[in-house]
Structure 1
């Protein structure tokens, strides 16, 4: 069977367009985050946001994700929470996880999805890089873990 150059170019353009959507992959090409499971989204948030630092840091990030999921102001599913614009690390749902931290993130995601939470996070729904402090009077810091400071807003 022979394909015309035009047909091959169309097919290549389709593959490039589909791969730019990000998320799940087939043959190394990405085809949209709608295909990611709750575990994959949670795992990615914990992996990238905790800088793969520790189980404690990953558990704390996972707890924030679940705290947001339980709040009606946020999406009611893990992928919706993690995928919210400007809330988590850029590319959190599309970048490659390249080291052994992915194994720990997978284990910790299982723990969080089974109901395990970091007790120090309490009801916090926010965090930022440790070492930064913001003097706003509508926030209360509750924990430092995994290179992040976790806080509640009132």
Structure 2
């Protein structure tokens, strides 16, 4: 019994330490994501995915995040959408935002969270780096902005 309680105390201590480390995970739980506000998660997606290129590019990325947020197939929080494995830039929730692009990301995040959307994105829930092309016929491109190409996946008939 004493060995079990000692093990539980060690696990609890590790969990407490992990919560204090931004971007770390413990047993598959991303503690940094749990500490971030919806605005910070939105800012980070826009900052890293648009390469801080323009307000238009950030707004387009933010629109994709919200399109996913509003789709029942995706998580029900902005941080959940941004933190989904293999969906956004690696380290998006843990890397530091180190330049003035963070100020622009903050401003655009406020706009997106108040309901602004990039009209060119339409219903797109996906994007990739501009200039790349893939051999799939279900990718319907709707916009190029901020160094990315935005597309909808449509059923081919």
Q: TM-score, normalised by structure 1?
A: 0.82
> Within 1, Cα distance between the matches of 2:114 and 2:122?
17
SS of aligned partner of 2:141: strand
The structural deviation recorded for 1:33 is 1.8
Residue 43 of structure 1 corresponds to 43
Instruction: Give the superposed CA RMSD.
Output: 1.9
Cα shift at 1:19: 4.6
Q: Is 1:140 the equivalent of 2:140? A: yes
SS of equivalent to 1:32: helix
Tell me how far 1:79 sits from its aligned partner: 0.3
After TM superposition, list the pairs within 5 Å mapping 1:1-154 onto structure 2.
17-20=18-21, 22=23, 32-154=32-154
**1:4: which partner in 2?**
none
The C-alpha deviation readout for 1:75-124, integer Å capped at 9, x for no partner, is 01100000000000000001000000000000000000010000000000
Deviation at 1:49, TM superposition (A): 0.2
Q: How many residues align?
A: 136
Distance 1:20 1:37 in 2: 16
Contact 2:83 2:93 in 1 (8 A): yes
Equivalent-residue separation in structure 2 for 1:137 and 1:20 (angstroms): 43
